[in-house]
Chains A and B, each alone.
Chain A
């Protein structure tokens, strides 16, 4: 079945450090891939997405590239800020109307 595996957290970084959160997936067909972010006490917000192989999603300085050969969608940011502290979820969907399959989430804590 479909599944998403994320690196275990928490990830603790200093401001302006480089961030990588690993995400790999198992899926039939050609899923769309997503990163969602959950700030403390809030709901889920779409951060970025990619719908086909080699697509790069980007938003707010975050990037992730859909790598079919390695079945990965790693999240990166060149210089994190304290305001980036949140839980990040990798997710996939095979088609409209089907469930989003989430990873377990990775907590990022950025200190000044």
Chain B
């Protein structure tokens, strides 16, 4: 069964550093998403991406965040200057054209020290 993959599984970084989280969505999917889950809290939407542009973003997704689909298979989330409060599990997801369930990757645990 096809699956969404994410790398790395765990990233530790110092405050102020840039991080790039990587995702490979399911190959025939068209919509891509990033969510985050701060430890013990609800899953929060960050951004959705379709046709090479952001289709929706939340208020969490400020100027420190950016997304890119650099090569037709990878989908990346960049945090320019990490803050302690960016520590969370970041999930990538993808879905096809019809209203359907989003398939989630296993997540990247980001720890900012």
Determine if B42 and A100 form an interchain contact, defined as CB atoms under 8 angstroms apart: no
CB < 8 Å neighbour of A46 from B43, B48, B96, B103 = B103
Could you say which interface size class chain A belongs to? 20 to 34
With both chains docked as a complex, state the minimum distance between the C-beta of B112 and any C-beta of chain A, in angstroms: 20
In Å, the complex CA distance between A96 and B33 comes to 11
Task: Write out the residue numbers on chain A whose beta carbons fall within 8 Å of the beta carbon of B42.
Answer: 89, 102-105
Shortest distance between the CB of B75 and any CB in chain A (Å): 14
CA A104 – CA B37 in complex, angstroms?
10
- Complex contacts, A100 vs chain B, CB 8 Å: 33, 35, 43, 45, 93, 102
Residue A86 interfacial (CB < 8 Å): no
* A34, chain B: closest CB distance, angstroms: 6
Q: How large is the interface on B (under 10, 10 to 19, 20 to 34, 35 or more residues)?
A: 20 to 34
Could you say which of B43, B45, B48, B107 contacts A89, with CB atoms under 8 Å apart?
B43
Contacts of A96 in B (CB 8 A): 31, 95-100
Separation in Å of the A27 CB from the closest CB of chain B? 13
Contact status B31-A44, CB under 8 Å: no
Stretch from B14-22, B50-58, B65-73, B80-88 that touches the partner: B50-58
Q: Is A77 in the interface zone, CB < 8 Å from B?
A: no
What is B's interface to A at a CB cutoff of 8 Å? 31, 33, 35, 41-45, 48, 50, 55-56, 58, 89, 91, 93, 95-107
Query: Which residues does A use to contact B, with CB under 8 Å?
Result: 32, 34, 36, 42-46, 49, 51, 89, 93, 95-105
